[in-house]
Every structure is written in structure tokens, then in C-alpha cells.
């Protein structure tokens, strides 16, 4: 008895196009999270030296109640795709719809097929940036361009060139709120995932730097302030100052990164209080 096996060989470009029906992304944390601007540090230092009050807030990525909130973006590849969004830990808000226009540059390196990052929600427009070249480096006329509803781009011939595509885009926006699990590591770790008929897409959430240390209290965050009390400084004293005032020096040391007070020492004529 003869036995036959059928093997199907697919175009690599077609295989690359078989992607998840949901693209899940997280809004990136700004690079100033947990950092103080140099100008703020100068103002802080000047205020201490000038005996002036100063207060400034530093964003460490935590909400006022100690939780951490992230924005999650979901891009369905099919219009009206039915799916359920879930989180392994934390509270996920209801879905919000965000419609906007998106621009994308697609580079062709002697190729005729490419894919947009997202699926357009409407009609696309495009234009070539500069000239288009063939494999020998000769300038060619712009090839015909076809873009389907899934963002698949097909040219009439293989070329070098960069195509600028402008297309409408719809994304679903969710807010993930995570409260700390307690002391230890990975206090805010979570995964968000979308379930749909025939598939699953997921994303591990990234958290602000040093968030476990900040939440655990080993790193102080939220602001830095300094002020002189009325009995320490009076610009208009009622009593005349003595002719021979004692020498008084005050040395205040703060940790630059965490703004934690390290020491606050006052000496009178070079003598620490309590030393005689």
C-alpha cells in the first residue's frame, strides 16, 4: 500500500502576515519618573542657603494612595472584533475608544511586500519619500501600491525606497490600577491579556524604576521641601542685635537622589551643642 504525505510550502511573507488579531501596548513611562531636574535641585540648594521656604513635587509613578496606574492600548486587526480584556492582577477599567490619524514610514529593500504596524480603520493615503531605485541603483518610476484592510502592502515590483503611509486608526484604551501586594519584590507585577475566538494576546506590564523600593519606603519620593521657622530667622527683629554675636554655623546634608535628610548640625563658635 502506498502512503503519501502532502507538504505545503508557504511564502515567508505570507507567514509573517499571520499575526495576532490584537496588538496590546502600554504607554511608556516618561524618562523623568523618579528624577529631579537639575534646575529644581539648584533652587532647593539656594533656598537652604538663603533660608527661604521651598517645596517641589517629584513623580515616582505612584498614585497618592500608593497604587500604580498604567495606560493600556489595544489595536484590533479586525473591525468589531469580539474579545475580552483581562488582567492577572489589579483592576482594569472599562473600554474607551480613541480615533486618530497615524503616519508610518515603510522601507523597501528590493522588496515588494510589507506590513503596516496596525490595521487601518478607513481609507489610506501614501507618498514616496524621495526617489525609488531598482536593484542596480537606477532611479525608477514609482511602482503601483496596494494596501488592504489588514495593512498588507503590495508593490507592482521590487524596489529600494521609503513609503509614507497616512491612515486612520482606532484603538481601545484601558486603565490598569495595581495595588502593592505587600513587602518584597515584584509588588506590582501584572500581565494583561485579550481573549478572542481562536486566539490569545498578552503583554507583561512594565513598572516605573525602583517602584518596589519606593513603595516599601526604602526610597523617599514625592517631594522635597525646606523652610525656616520664625524663631530661626526674623528679618525685622524688635530687639537690637548684640554688638558681639556668637559665631553660628549650620550644616544640612541631603541625599541627592532620594532627598532624604542625612544630617542637620549646628555649631556655636565651632562647638557642637552639649560639648561644653
Mean pLDDT of 30-50: 56
Mean pLDDT of 85-111: 96
Residues 156 and 224 both lie in one domain: no
Give the whole-angstrom CA distance, residue 248 versus residue 266: 7
Q: What is the overall mean pLDDT for the chain?
A: 77
Residue located via cell numbers 526674623: 234
Confidence of residue 18 (pLDDT cuts 50, 70, 90): very low
In a domain, 131, yes or no: yes
Domain count, the chain: 2
More confident residue, 20 or 7: 20
pTM (predicted TM-score): 0.66
User: How far is CA 3 from its chain centroid?
Assistant: 57
Contact 180, 187 (CB under 8 A): yes
Domain that holds residue 116: 99-169
Give the helix ranges, DSSP H, for 64-192: none
Copy the grid coordinates of residue 267: 555649631
Residues 24 and 134 both lie in one domain: no
Copy the grid coordinates of residue 201: 494576546
| Helix, strand, coil share of the chain (percent; to 5) | 10, 40, 50
Per cent of the chain over pLDDT 70 is: 63
Residues 109 and 151 both lie in one domain: yes
Which of 169, 187, 210 is at the close of a domain?
169
Copy the grid coordinates of residue 259: 532627598
In a domain, 216, yes or no: yes
More confident residue, 55 or 91: 91
What is the CA angle 103-13-80, rounded to 5?
55
Give the torsion sign (CA, 5, 9, 14, 16): positive
Residues 36 and 136 both lie in one domain: no
Amino acid at each position: 500500500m502506498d502512503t503519501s504525505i502532502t507538504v505545503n510550502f508557504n511564502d515567508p511573507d505570507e507567514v509573517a502576515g499571520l499575526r495576532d488579531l490584537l496588538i496590546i501596548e502600554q504607554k511608556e513611562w516618561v524618562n523623568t519618573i523618579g528624577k529631579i531636574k537639575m534646575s529644581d535641585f539648584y533652587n532647593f540648594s539656594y533656598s537652604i542657603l538663603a533660608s527661604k521656604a521651598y517645596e517641589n513635587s517629584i513623580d515616582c509613578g505612584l498614585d497618592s494612595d500608593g497604587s500604580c496606574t498604567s495606560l493600556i492600548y489595544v489595536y484590533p486587526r479586525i473591525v468589531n472584533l469580539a474579545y475580552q480584556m483581562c488582567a492577572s492582577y489589579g483592576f482594569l477599567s472599562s473600554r474607551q475608544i480613541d480615533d486618530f490619524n497615524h503616519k508610518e514610514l515603510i522601507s523597501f529593500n528590493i522588496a515588494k511586500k510589507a506590513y503596516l504596524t496596525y490595521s487601518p480603520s478607513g481609507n489610506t493615503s501614501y507618498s514616496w519619500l524621495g526617489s525609488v531605485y531598482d536593484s542596480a541603483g537606477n532611479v525608477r518610476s514609482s511602482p503601483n501600491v496596494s494596501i488592504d484592510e489588514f495593512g498588507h502592502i503590495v508593490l507592482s515590483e521590487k524596489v529600494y525606497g521609503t513609503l509614507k503611509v497616512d491612515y486612520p486608526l482606532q484603538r481601545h484604551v484601558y486603565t490598569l490600577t495595581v495595588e502593592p501586594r505587600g513587602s518584597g519584590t515584584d509588588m506590582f507585577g501584572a500581565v494583561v491579556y485579550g481573549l478572542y475566538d481562536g486566539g490569545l494576546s498578552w503583554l507583561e506590564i512594565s513598572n516605573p524604576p525602583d517602584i518596589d523600593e519606593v513603595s516599601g519606603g526604602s526610597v523617599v519620593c514625592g517631594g522635597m521641601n525646606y523652610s525656616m521657622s520664625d524663631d530661626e530667622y526674623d528679618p525685622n527683629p524688635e530687639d537690637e542685635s548684640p554688638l558681639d554675636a556668637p559665631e553660628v554655623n549650620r550644616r544640612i546634608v541631603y541625599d541627592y537622589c532620594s532627598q532624604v535628610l542625612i544630617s542637620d548640625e549646628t555649631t556655636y563658635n565651632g562647638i557642637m551643642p552639649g560639648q561644653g
